[in-house]
Amino acid sequence: MSVAAAATQVAHAEGVRRLLASYRAVPATESVRLAKPTSNLFRTRTKNQGRGLDTSGLTGVIAVDAQARTAEVAGMCTYDDLVTATLPAGLAPLVVPQLKTITLGGAVTGLGIESTSFRNGLPHESVREMDILTGAGEVITVSPTEHADLYRAFPNSYGTLGYAVRLCIDLEPVKPFVALRHLRFHSLGDLVTSMGRITETGRFDGVTVDYLDGVVFSAGESYLSVGVQTDTPGAVSDYTGQRIYYRSIQHDDGVTDDRLTVHDYLWRWDTDWFWCSEPFGAQDRRLRQIWPKRYRSSRFYSRLMKYEQRFGIGDRIEKLAGRPPRERVVQDIEVPLAHCAEYLDWFLATVPIQPIWLCPLRLREAGIAGGGWPLYPIKANQTYVNVGFWGTVPIGQQGGETNRLIERKVGELDGHKSLYSDSYYSRQEFDELYGGASHRAVKKIYDPDSRFLDLYAKAVQRR
C-alpha cells in the first residue's frame, strides 16, 4: 500500500471515530440525524434543534482499483469527487446521477438515476458492500450475503435504517468522448415507442447505445438523446459557459449531432440545474455574461432556492402582483413504459410545467436474482420511464392539490414516486407502496430503540 493510500485509510478511520462519537453525544430522547452542509431533498422539514452526526471525515474517495473496476468511497463522497478520481483511469460509476453534489450514500439510500439506467439500473444495484451506521450505534458491513435484509431494504430508506459510512461499488470502462444524436418527435406515442425499442435492443441505427434520455417541451415537440462513447478525437461543445445544453437539443425536424467530452456529458445538466436556473435569471443572455462561471451550478442554485423558501420570496412577489401563492411541484415518478404516453398526455393537459425530463430504466438481473428491493418494489423484467418535472403552479383549494393529483394518477398507472420531495399519502397507501412491513421488520432488528425516524414520518409528515 502506498503512503497516500495508507493516509487515506487512516483519515477514513478517524472520520468513522468522529461519527460514532457524535452519535453517542446525541441524547437518547432525540432522533439521530446527519449534520451536512448540502442536501438534494426538496421537501420541507420540521426544524431540528438537536445536534446532528458529524460526517466531516467521510467525504473522500478511499481507493480506486482499476484492475478490479471498483471504487471504495466514504458515504458523503460526492459523485463529482468520485468521477474526478475515476476518469483518469478510464472508468466511471455504472450510474452517475446528474448533479455534482449528490453523494454516494444519498443516491443509494434515496435512489438515483441517469441516462445509463436503461442498461445499468439504479445506483444501489452496483453496490458490492456497504458499511452502515445502524440505530444501535454500530457500524456493520452489509452485502448480498451478509446482513442481506438490511442491504436489500436500505435503498429508498432515506436514513431511517442507518447511514452509509463506506461503499464499494462497481465501475465500468468509458471512452473520452460521447457522440450525441438528438432525435426530434412530433408525437409522444412515437417517442415512447422508439424509447422502448432502444431500451429493449440496446441499439439505434445498428450501433450500441451507451446513454439514453429525453426531453418533452410540448405534446408536439419532444426529443430522445442517444449517446455513444467514442475514442475519435475532434471538436466538442461546451455548455458550461454562455451556451445552454437543453436549448441545444431543440430543432425543427429529424436528427442533429453533437459531441462532448465524457466529463462534460456526465455533468451536462449541472450547469443550469437542467432548466431550473431560468427563474434565477441565469439564462438571461445579458445577466449570464456577468454571472460568474463558478456560480452557474446546481450547488449555487440550490442555495438560492433554500433562501427563497426560508423567506417566502416567491410568495411575496406573487402577493405584490395581486396573485395567489404558488404550490411547489418538484417530483420524479416512474411509470411502466406501456403507460408513459398516457401519463404524459394527462400531465401536459393538467399541470402547466414544461420541459419534462424522461429517463428509461430497467432493474439489473443481479438485483432481481437477489430478491429485489422491498422499499421501492418496481417490477423485474419491465421497462419503466422516470418522468421528472420541477416547477410551481397556482395554489389550489387544499394544500398540495396538484401533488395529490399526481400521486393518484401515478398510482392508477401502476407507477411509483420518489420520496425526495413532498408526499401526501395516507399511512395505509404509503405502506402498500413502499414496503411498510419490510421496513418495520428490518428496523426492529437494526434500530430497536427507534433512534432514527420512521420512513412515513420523514417522507410524508416532514419530520
Instruction: Check residue 30 and give its pLDDT.
Output: 83
58 pLDDT above the threshold of 70: yes
Confidence of residue 3 (pLDDT cuts 50, 70, 90): low
Instruction: Check residue 369 and give its pLDDT.
Output: 56
SS (H, E, C) the chain: CCHHHHHHHHHHHHHHHHHHHHHHHCCCCCCCCEECCCCCCECCCCCCCCCCEECCCCCCEEEEECCCCEEEEECCCEHHHHHHHHHHHCEEECCCCCCCCCEHHHHHHHCCCCCCHHHHCCHHHHEEEEEEECCCCCEEEECCCCCHHHHHHCCCCCCCCCEEEEEEEEEEECCCEEEEEEEEECCHHHHHHHHHHHHHHCEECCEECCEEEEEEEECCEEEEEEEEEECCCCCCCCCCCCCCHHHHCCCCCCEEEEEEEHHHHHCCCCCCCCCCCHHHCCCCHHHHHHCCHHHCCHHHHHHHHHHHHHHCHHHHHHHHCCCCCEEEEEEEEEEEHHHHHHHHHHHHHHCCCCCEEEEEECCCHHHHHCCCCCCCCCCCCCCEEEEEEEEEEECCCCCCHHHHHHHHHHHHCCCEECCCECCCCCHHHHHHHCCHHHHHHHHHHHCCCCCCCCHHHHHCCCC
Higher pLDDT pick, 463 / 421? 421
48 pLDDT above the threshold of 60: no
Q: Amino acid letter at 415? A: G
Reported as a single tens digit per residue, the pLDDT across 172-202 is: 999 999 999 999 999 999 999 999 999 999 9
Reported as a single tens digit per residue, the pLDDT across 264-280 is: 999 999 999 999 999 89
Instruction: Check residue 341 and give its pLDDT.
Output: 98
How far is the first Cα of the chain from the last one, in angstroms, to the nearest whole number? 44
CB atoms within 10 A of CB 278: 15
The C-alpha cell of 153 is what?
431494504
Confidence of residue 323 (pLDDT cuts 50, 70, 90): confident
367 pLDDT above the threshold of 70: no
**How far apart are alpha carbons 271 and 84 in whole angstroms?**
17
Higher pLDDT pick, 311 / 369? 311
Reported as a single tens digit per residue, the pLDDT across 107-161 is: 999 999 999 999 999 999 999 999 999 999 999 999 999 999 999 999 999 999 9
283 pLDDT above the threshold of 80: yes
Q: Amino acid letter at 366? A: A
Instruction: Check residue 95 and give its pLDDT.
Output: 98
The C-alpha cell of 260 is what?
462532448
Higher pLDDT pick, 290 / 316? 290
Which range is least confidently modeled, 80-94, 240-254, 307-321, 416-430? 307-321
Residue 177 CB-half CA count within 13 A: 14
Any residues with CB less than 8 A from the CB of 114 and at least 6 apart, and which? 95, 96, 97, 98, 213, 359
Mean pLDDT of 436-463: 93
* Residue from 394, 369, 389 nearest 381 by CA: 369
pTM listed for this prediction: 0.93
Mean pLDDT of 23-29: 88
Mean pLDDT of 35-41: 59
Which range is least confidently modeled, 107-121, 148-162, 208-222, 311-325? 311-325
Instruction: Check residue 104 and give its pLDDT.
Output: 96
The C-alpha cell of 421 is what?
420531495
Which range is least confidently modeled, 42-51, 158-167, 345-354, 385-394? 42-51
Instruction: Check residue 372 and give its pLDDT.
Output: 84
Mean pLDDT of 427-444: 95
362 pLDDT above the threshold of 80: yes
Confidence of residue 310 (pLDDT cuts 50, 70, 90): confident
User: 195 phi and psi, to 5 degrees?
Assistant: -60, -45
**How far apart are alpha carbons 118 and 210 in whole angstroms?**
9
